[in-house]
Structures are given as C-alpha cells and as structure tokens.
C-alpha cells in the first residue's frame, strides 16, 4: 500500500503512460477524454439532429470505460489515499495567490476560494466557471481534441497538428496565468 499511496516519480509514471500509448497504437485506438463527450451525445440521440454526433458510439465503449476509471480513480485517490502533507506548494505561488486575494490552501492542494463549496456562494466564481466551461468545450472542439488527446496521444503518434495544439495550450495557459487571471481577481 505504501508504494501506491506515495507520489510516483515522473520517469516511472511517464514510462507507464508510454507503455499504455504503445498498446493503444498497436490496437489501433486513439485516446482522448473530450471524445467521450461526443460519444455521450451520440448515445443520448443527438445524432438525429446534428450530423457530427451521428456515428457508431459503440466502437468507443472502451474510451467510456477510461473516463469511468478516471472518475473512480480520482474518488479513491482523494478519499482513501490523499496525503497533502507530502506536497509542498511553492511559497511564491502562495504569495501570488495572496496578491489576488485568495487564501493559501492550508493542508490541501487547491484553495477553497476557487475549488471548495465556498466557490458556489459567489456569483462571480459561478460566472467564471460557466464561461470557462464554455471556452474549454469550444476550444477542445476547435482544436480537434483536448489536452490529453493532443499531448499524450497525438504527440506519441508524431502528429504535427497535435504539436501545434500543445504549443497553443502552453501559450494560452501562460497568458491566462500571467495576464487574464490577475484581471479577473
């Protein structure tokens, strides 16, 4: 149990991701979390109204199991294996959060003001969450996939569009963190 509950080194985790990607490539599968949204819309009957959703979603059942496993794994990790005491948040990050009026995440990895139940009491945070969700949905559709699909699956297949998308994700993240987030808060 100790091995599983401790933070794994990047080279071990990266090796496991690489092995999984080799298996997916071998079996002709393409990994991506946002493709599950298309499958779920197709399952719900959206294909009757929009041709984009008119496809054989049953061929993507394995990917739906991946998202179920990610949710179950996240639940197990947070409720049974979480130990935030072994993660040190950079003091500069805590200082930058304080400048934005956000309290440091005491004993947790994420600040309650943004990720706790307190966030749902603020209309401003709810508005930010809704707009952010719409932008993420639009961005992943416009880019032809999400960060996991492009950065893990696309790059492992040596796809140039995925490299461009990942570069765009990083540039967008830097712009958001350094320019837009301070304006919002």
Q: Where are the domains of the chain?
A: 1-82
Q: How many Cβ atoms are within 10 Å of 66's Cβ, its own excluded?
A: 20
Question: 82-138: per-residue pLDDT in tens?
Answer: 766 666 788 898 888 888 888 877 767 778 777 788 788 888 888 988 998 898 888
Task: Flag whether pLDDT at 171 surpasses 90.
Answer: yes
Question: 149-159: per-residue pLDDT in tens?
Answer: 888 888 888 89
Which structure tokens are listed for 111? 């600040």
Question: 19-39: per-residue pLDDT in tens?
Answer: 988 898 898 887 778 888 888
Which structure tokens are listed for 149? 């699909």
pLDDT at 48 (0 to 100): 93
pLDDT band at 81 (very low <50, low <70, confident <90, very high): confident
Contacts 24+ apart (CB under 8 A), 26-29: 29/62, 29/63
Q: Are 87 and 109 a contacting pair, CB within 8 Å?
A: yes
∠ Cα 146 58 156 (to 5°): 35
∠ Cα 124 129 132 (to 5°): 120
pLDDT at 68 (0 to 100): 92
pTM over 0.75: no
The per-residue pLDDT of the chain, averaged, comes to 85
89 CB burial (10 A radius; 0-12, 13-18, 19+): middle
């Amino acid at each position: 149990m100790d091995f599983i509950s401790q933070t794994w080194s990047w080279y071990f985790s990266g090796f496991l991701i690489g092995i999984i990607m080799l298996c997916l490539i071998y079996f002709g599968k393409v990994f991506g979390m946002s493709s599950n949204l298309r499958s779920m819309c197709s399952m719900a009957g959206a294909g009757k109204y929009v041709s984009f959703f008119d496809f054989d979603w049953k061929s993507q059942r394995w990917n739906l199991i991946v998202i179920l496993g990610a949710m179950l794994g996240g639940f197990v990790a947070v409720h049974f294996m979480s130990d935030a005491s072994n993660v040190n948040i950079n003091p500069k990050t805590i200082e930058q959060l304080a400048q934005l009026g956000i309290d440091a995440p005491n004993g947790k990895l994420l600040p309650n003001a943004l990720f706790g139940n307190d966030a749902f009491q603020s209309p401003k945070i709810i508005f930010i969450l809704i707009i952010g969700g719409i932008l993420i949905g639009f961005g992943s559709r416009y880019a032809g996939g999400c960060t996991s699909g492009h950065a893990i699956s696309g790059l492992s297949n040596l796809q140039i569009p995925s490299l461009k998308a990942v570069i765009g994700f990083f540039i967008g993240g830097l712009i958001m963190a350094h320019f837009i987030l301070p304006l919002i808060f």
